[in-house]
Structure 1
Amino acid sequence: MLNRGGRRGGRPGKTLGKAGYGVLILTALMCLALAIMLSVSIGIAGGGFKTLLQTVVLGDNSSNLGRIMLEMRLPRALAACLTGAAFALAGAIMQGITRNPLADAGLLGINAGAGFAVALGAVLWPSLSSLGTMLTAFGGAALAVLLVYGLGMGKQKSGAIRLILAGAAVGAFLTALSQGVGLTFGLSKDLSFWNSGSLAGISWAQLNIAAPWIAAAGVAGLLLAGRLSILALGEESAAGLGVNVGALRLTGLGVVLVLAGASVSLAGGISFLGLIIPHMARLLVGADYRKILPLSALLGGMLLVLSDVAARMINAPFDTPVGALVSVIGVPFFLVLTYRKKGAL
């Protein structure tokens, strides 16, 4: 079922057949559903799958525990699923349009840009709505992209390391500005926790605003999969096969901005998720983006849901920033990946 091929120029090292891929997707869906059920059924107030069944499936929320599950845990679990899928999908698309294995919305400063814009918006417009916060995050993400590519792209094509360095510089700069805003206006504690990534206090109202944006951008991203697979063969080959490379990259970047902006406005900055998950997906299905993107979304959602469960339980009843837990996994992965790729960068 697995066929080995070349490793360079975007050609797949492994290709998973349709039947095997279908089984893999079904398994990932089941694991994601179980992770969400686990998230809703576990908490310091108690729980269990029996109460979960009565509350969510049968609609019985007469007990206090049932209301906690329905009004607090369920929207939080669904938000973790959506934002995890969005960050992972954004990372996979970024890696596809840049042909850069180290590309990620967090590493390239996009999350920091969205976070800075949200911090500034909280000061300038204290009563800003959830939709306004999200639109502000979109603007900050776009600003970060312009800065990163302005620094990372010269007259010649930049290497991956130069782009990552530009992203690190821009991300650090915008994060410092966010912290400065927080210290000046007495928001440092809230912004520090939020910038580390947190799903605490997510409400149905916030989820209802962010979900359509993430879903629409996710569908748009999935529609790019075939052309991203062609682009992986090289720009000249893609152009020869009828792909408008410039339009593809512009569209992909727009999708990434919406995914990252909506996710950051909902859950704060969570780095490395978009770096880890696409590489895990490639190990399982090969280099075909038609398979990588859907699997990345499912794995990203599952990882963030489980990470959020751990974040709630590590120091209960207090929340540990979920972004910190993801970084514990992501930093070593990034270092190993950089070491393995250094000869090709």
Structure 2
Amino acid sequence: MLNRGGRRGGRPGKILGKAGYGVLILTALMCLALAIMLSVSIGIAGSGFKTLLQTVVLGDNSSNLGRIMLEMRLPRALAACLTGAAFALAGAIMQGITRNPLADAGLLGINAGAGFAVALGAVLWPSLSSLGTMLTAFGGAALAVLLVYGLGMGKQKSGAIRLILAGAAVGAFLTALSQGVGLTFGLSKDLSFWTSGSLAGISWAQLNVAAPWIAAAGVAGLLLAGRLSILALGEESAAGLGVNVGALRLTGLGVVLVLAGASVSLAGGISFLGLIIPHTARLLVGADYRKILPLSALLGGMLLVLSDVAARMINAPFDTPVGALVSVIGVPFFLVLTYRKKGA
């Protein structure tokens, strides 16, 4: 298993002291801010950092481009930042509580469960509010977790593989149900685009509903970091050091459900981001979750913001599903990681 005994993946982190980690976090923050500025300032309606500064800093939104930046591009960029951070945090926490290096909210069917619930809610309650949609997504994510863990429970030696296979099966099943709902009720085109992951049309109202949930769950996840590092030493060692393993896993799972559910209700299903980013963070800072989780949030936000910029520009003026772009990176990463871990 990854990080057993805190050794594998921990060596690069020894090179990086407190000062080096601080510089890394500051650099990631600056790069994330630049990515958001790039996202807001670039588009088919026009581009320019000067207009962005006049609109955001000086409050001058008299120009059409300024209003587009403020009302359309800025909430979309912030939504990409928040959901990217949430998916990355969810993946890192899932890997910590399951001690499974292949765990991810998308691979374990959680995103598909939230998506199915949202699709069903759109049919049963067409006028459902943003808050109602998000609560529905939470319920679908919880259903997926119950199904995956019910099917994937097994002996510890084969538990990781069984869990991934169960997640793939449950995710495919719930995705098929979502598509069936879309075809039956004439929502297939919009639903397919949304389930592939899209930030098109994000409004301030939607962002205002989802942001507090993501922020609260993110803070709660960061508070688990120390105990996740202890859990990486093994269940018996963690229990001997005073960690309530069952309570930790239950709390971590609740945090993941909120992060994934809120993000899926906002941006649709985006897989692999929660797999790519935590492992990248481990390569940079080692096995300590107190360092992995903050860096994962920053890198996840940056990756999704830049992916969304590419999604808008590849086939302009039409949007490309941002989830498809993330998967282009994520699938090869997953295959390489699976090959490297097959001996474990």
Q: Deviations over 1:20-69 (max 9, x none)?
A: 00000000000000000000000001121000000011100001000000
- Contact 2:218 2:255 (8 Å CA) reproduced: yes
- Residue of structure 1 in register with 2:249 after alignment: 249
| Whole-angstrom distance in 2 between the partners of 1:232 and 1:276 | 19
- Contact 2:40 2:74 (8 Å CA) reproduced: yes
**1:160 Cα shift?**
1.1
**1:158 Cα shift?**
4.4
- Contact 1:113 1:140 (8 Å CA) reproduced: yes
**1:7 Cα shift?**
3.1
2:13 is paired with a residue of what secondary structure? coil
Structure 2 CA distance for partners of 1:186 and 1:325, relative to 1, 3 Å: same
**1:161 Cα shift?**
1.1
**1:154 Cα shift?**
3.1
**1:14 Cα shift?**
4.0
- Contact 1:114 1:261 (8 Å CA) reproduced: yes
2:9 is paired with a residue of what secondary structure? coil
Matched-pair identity in %: 99
| Whole-angstrom distance in 1 between the partners of 2:113 and 2:157 | 24
| Whole-angstrom distance in 1 between the partners of 2:9 and 2:261 | 31
- Contact 1:117 1:136 (8 Å CA) reproduced: yes
Q: Single out whichever of 66-75 and 155-164 deviates more from structure 2.
A: 155-164
Structure 2 CA distance for partners of 1:309 and 1:157, relative to 1, 3 Å: same
| Whole-angstrom distance in 2 between the partners of 1:4 and 1:248 | 18
Q: TM-score, normalised by structure 2?
A: 0.97
| Whole-angstrom distance in 2 between the partners of 1:16 and 1:9 | 13
**1:157 Cα shift?**
6.3
- Residue of structure 2 in register with 1:332 after alignment: 332
| Whole-angstrom distance in 2 between the partners of 1:228 and 1:36 | 31
- Contact 1:114 1:141 (8 Å CA) reproduced: yes
| Whole-angstrom distance in 2 between the partners of 1:15 and 1:82 | 30
- Contact 1:11 1:232 (8 Å CA) reproduced: no
Q: Which runs of 5+ in 2 are unaligned?
A: none
Q: Which runs of 5+ in 1 are unaligned?
A: none
**1:284 Cα shift?**
0.2
- Contact 2:12 2:283 (8 Å CA) reproduced: no
| Whole-angstrom distance in 2 between the partners of 1:155 and 1:52 | 56
Q: Give the aligned length.
A: 344
- Contact 1:14 1:287 (8 Å CA) reproduced: no
Q: Deviations over 1:282-333 (max 9, x none)?
A: 0000000000000000000000000000000000000000000000000000
- Contact 1:6 1:12 (8 Å CA) reproduced: no
Q: TM-score, normalised by structure 1?
A: 0.96
| Whole-angstrom distance in 2 between the partners of 1:308 and 1:128 | 26
**1:80 Cα shift?**
0.2
**1:4 Cα shift?**
15
- Contact 2:2 2:8 (8 Å CA) reproduced: no
| Whole-angstrom distance in 1 between the partners of 2:282 and 2:254 | 23
Q: Deviations over 1:97-145 (max 9, x none)?
A: 0000000000000000000000000000000000000000000000000
**1:152 Cα shift?**
0.3
- Contact 1:5 1:12 (8 Å CA) reproduced: no
